[in-house]
Amino acid sequence: MSPETLPKKEAVKEEYRSFIRQRILFVLILLVITPLLVGYAATLGSADISVKAAYDAILHKFFPDRFNPAPTEKLDSGTIVTILWTLRLPRIVLGILAGIGLALAGAVMQAILKNPLASPYTLGIASAASFGASLAIILGVGLVGGEHLIIANAFIFAMIAALLIYLLSIKRTSPETMVLAGIAIMYLFSAMTSSLQYVGEAEEVQEVVYWMFGSLGRADWQSSFPYGNIGIIAMVLLLTIPYLLLKSWDLNALGAGDETAKSLGVRVERIRITCMFIASFITASIIAFTGTIGFIGLVCPHITRMVIGSDHRFLLPGTCLTGAVLLLAADTVARTIVAPEILPVGIVTAFMGVPLFVYLLMRQRGGYW
């Protein structure tokens, strides 16, 4: 090795390391922002609770001896804890989990379909869920009866959409076939939802429209298994996130083209189908409870990619946190902007995300975006 090339090589290595550090820093910053945002969101509501009292009430659950919110003129300590843990935190936690899941599903879809427009919504998963919910709301029918008819219907139809995409692209699982099959399915279910709305009563249609806005208002964590919808979503995420993170390198390789990915030892068809089902499953589990919260899945991966690049080892965790922060921030705005009215969070996500997205888009120096 000649003396000249040694420093050059070391310089490249050092520069690469600093790249990696930047990516880790981004993830760490979001990890700090999230609890700050939780603290702020927890103070909002009709009862006056300070930021300190909110943190104390949250920590009280884990360390009852060390943390206890100071009683105020109107509320005693126990009431503050109860308000936090039964009214405010479930909504906040659902916001975080839904943000994580939807953003992650979007990032995975974009990676396996190599399409910047891909998200569980583009592929008809959301419109199928909407159709399932409409079916329950307007006709009162579903595949599983009972009190959870809307939830079950939304979930089942979302998974039916995923299955249809799979069946339509079974011969050639190319990204293009899957995207086109997904778009066809989206139109089919939208048309079916419209037909239902056409025959439905005014109040029913209104309920459908409200469901499709998406809302975190149905958040709950019961004391017993499966701990309400929050418990279910948390379990889904705990089961799927490790798998997806392990497949980061496969997702990276897919970006280099199917042939290259195959030559690098990736089972392209298998990974594409598995990840499509997992992303659909995550989305279905979330929107069955929240209604269709759009935009997060499409834009959070892009926002993250613009900041830290497309290495999925960092992109996936980064996207999860961007989604959590964006959805929680949007819900916080939704709760305060016309208080005491609460806007559906699905409306606010776009109003908040678009300016950030456009700003980053304009800053790019060409290339992909």
Partner 1 sequence: MKLKIKDLTFSYPGHTILDGITVEIEPSEFFGIIGPNGTGKTTLIKCIDTILKPHGGCVMLDGMEVRDLDKRELAKRIGYVPQHAPGGFPATVFDTILMGRRPYIGWRVTEKDLERVLETVELLGIEELSLRPFGELSGGERQKVLVARALCQDPEVLLLDEPTSNLDIKHQLEVMKIIQTITRKRGILAIMAIHDLNLASRYADRVAMMHGGKIAAVGTPEDVLTVENIRSVYGVEVAVRNDGGKPYILPIRPVEV
Stretch that binds partner 1, among 123-131, 158-166, 242-250, 349-357 (CB under 8 A): 242-250
Q: 213 and 73 in contact (C-beta within 8 Å)?
A: no
| Minimum CB distance to partner 1, residue 4 (Å) | 11
Q: Measuring CA to CA, how many Å separate 347 from each of 97, 119, 351?
A: 18, 18, 7
Token pair, residue 327, equals 């959805």
Measured between its terminal Cα atoms, the distance across the chain in Å is 40
**22 contributes a contact to partner 1 by CB under 8 A:** no
| Minimum CB distance to partner 1, residue 257 (Å) | 4
Name which position in 187, 260, 337, 338 contacts partner 1 (CB under 8 A).
260
**334 contributes a contact to partner 1 by CB under 8 A:** no
Establish how many alpha carbons lie within 13 A of residue 192's alpha carbon, considering only the half-sphere containing its beta carbon: 18
Name which of 91 and 272 has its Cβ closer to partner 1: 272
Sole residue written with tokens 């030559």: 263
Token pair, residue 162, equals 């995923």
Name which position in 45, 200, 217, 309 contacts partner 1 (CB under 8 A).
309
User: DSSP states of 216-243 as a string?
Assistant: STT----SSTT-HHHHHHHHHHHHHHHH
Using CB under 8 A, count the residues that bind partner 1.
39
**3 contributes a contact to partner 1 by CB under 8 A:** no
For the window 113-142, what string marks contact with partner 1 as x by the rule CB under 8 A?
A: -x-x--------------------------
Ramachandran quadrant class, 44 (left: phi over 0; alpha: psi -120 to 50; beta: rest): beta
**256 contributes a contact to partner 1 by CB under 8 A:** yes
Stretch that binds partner 1, among 71-79, 136-144, 304-312, 323-331 (CB under 8 A): 304-312
Residues 204-235: b if buried by 16+ CB within 10 A, e if exposed? bbebbeebbbbbbbbbebeeeeeebbbbbbbe
| Minimum CB distance to partner 1, residue 161 (Å) | 25
Stretch that binds partner 1, among 107-115, 134-142, 217-225, 347-355 (CB under 8 A): 107-115
Contact positions vs partner 1 (CB under 8 A): 5, 8-9, 11-13, 15-16, 19, 110-111, 114, 116, 245-246, 248-250, 252-253, 255-257, 259-260, 262-267, 305, 309-311, 313, 366-368
